[in-house]
Amino acid sequence: MAKNAAQSPLERTSLASLDHKLAMAKRCSHEGVIAGAKAAVVATVATAIPTLASVRMLPWARANLNHTAQALIISTVAGAAYFIVADKTVLATARKNSFQQASNMEA
């Protein structure tokens, strides 16, 4: 009896639908990771240049920002950029996919 229920067309359709949703979720998260990594690289360069320049040129920064502080400033900005951009990308991709699925169901 259980074997027949597992082979029903309704069950196969829902499994295919779940597989499709899983593939879409993996693609959304992968796009988020790629976009976040790109943003983190840009943020690292954009933060490292002024931080390192200020430590060389400004007496206050030279006295108060040791290597650990400089690394903390740069890595905090890179981490924040990664998570913000990755989150926005995943949400935008999921929203786009949900609207596509809604229009496919209506048609």
pLDDT 10s digits, 27-69: 889 999 999 999 999 999 999 999 999 999 999 999 999 999 9
Q: What is the mean predicted confidence (pLDDT) over 9-32? A: 80
pLDDT of residue 91: 92
Contact 62, 55 (CB under 8 A): yes
Confidence of residue 9 (pLDDT cuts 50, 70, 90): low
| Single pTM value for the model | 0.75
CA distance 44 to 79: 9
CA distance 89 to 36: 8
CA atoms within 13 A on the CB side of 47: 19
Token duo for residue 67: 């290597």
Q: Of 74, 54, 76, 72, nearest to 63 (Cα)?
A: 54
